[in-house]
Amino acid sequence: MTELDHRVRGVDHAAFPTFDPAGTVRFYRDVLGFPVVHSICAAGWGPEDHPDFIHFFFDIGNDDRIAFFYYFGIEPFNQSGRGDSYAAFGPDVPEYFIRSRHLAIHVDSQEDLLEYRRRLDNSQWPVEMQIQHETIESIYTHDPNGYMVELTRAMRPVTPQEDLDANLTIDALLDVVDAPEPTFAKLLARKAELIVARAAQWEAAQAQESNA
């Protein structure tokens, strides 16, 4: 449990390298409609071997931004076929692992999700998957740099019991990975113990809240 007060205000920006600035601008600005909100033209910056670069930002809503670095005069480092502008992966790396790294951008409704689906499907980066997860629905594509981008909407609000469950999961996970050979079965067994240990406390807190 943490007693640290929560002072952060979302994502200022997440930054990635690009070797295709034109495609990147077409994808984020012209297809998705994310405004360009900031750019830095940096010449002669850093150590001598540091190329001149452009650092540019798109508004992804909520005053959050996604940003890219374009470095002049360098060729892509990763040409192996799998991966993205940042990293390449060999044949031994499973696809699920490569896809685990992604940026998910929030929308408020299914109508909004389908609007972005329409914009992407009309572009050269059509939606690759549309999936209803447990409580969210998402569309996915890869941007011109090979980064996986998800747009997602909540199908219902998150409930207090889900927050409790998430904390139980993480506490159980920390216990299980602290011991040798962590497995999913061990996690479920540890969670069962924590459920029994903490249920009464949770019920009391809920009762107090509904009386307040």
Partner 1 sequence: MTTLYVLDVPENTPLAKVASEDHAVTVGKIGPYFEISADAAIVIDRRATGCRHAVWYSSVAGVADGRITQHDKDALRVEPA
Binding positions for partner 1, rule: CB under 8 A:
131-135, 156, 159-162, 164-165, 168-169, 185, 188-196, 198-200, 202-203
Angle between the 184-211 and 160-177 helix axes, to the nearest 10 degrees? 150
**CB 169 → partner 1: shortest distance, Å?**
8
Given the complex with partner 1, which of 79 and 211 has the nearer CB atom? 211
Q: Can you state the percent helix, strand and coil of the chain, rounding each to 5?
A: 35, 25, 40
Given the complex with partner 1, which of 74 and 199 has the nearer CB atom? 199
**CB 59 → partner 1: shortest distance, Å?**
30
Which residue(s) pair with 70 in the sheet? Answer: 18, 54
**CB 191 → partner 1: shortest distance, Å?**
4
Q: Which residues contact 211 (CB under 8 A, 6 or more apart)?
A: none
Given the complex with partner 1, which of 153 and 190 has the nearer CB atom? 190
In the block, which residue shows the tokens 């307040």?
Answer: 212
Given the complex with partner 1, which of 35 and 160 has the nearer CB atom? 160
**CB 185 → partner 1: shortest distance, Å?**
6
94/178 Cα distance (integer angstroms): 26
114/136 Cα distance (integer angstroms): 14
**CB 207 → partner 1: shortest distance, Å?**
12
119/50 Cα distance (integer angstroms): 37
Given the complex with partner 1, which of 82 and 186 has the nearer CB atom? 186
Q: Which residues contact 60 (CB under 8 A, 6 or more apart)?
A: 11, 34, 66, 105
Given the complex with partner 1, which of 72 and 96 has the nearer CB atom? 96
**CB 95 → partner 1: shortest distance, Å?**
18
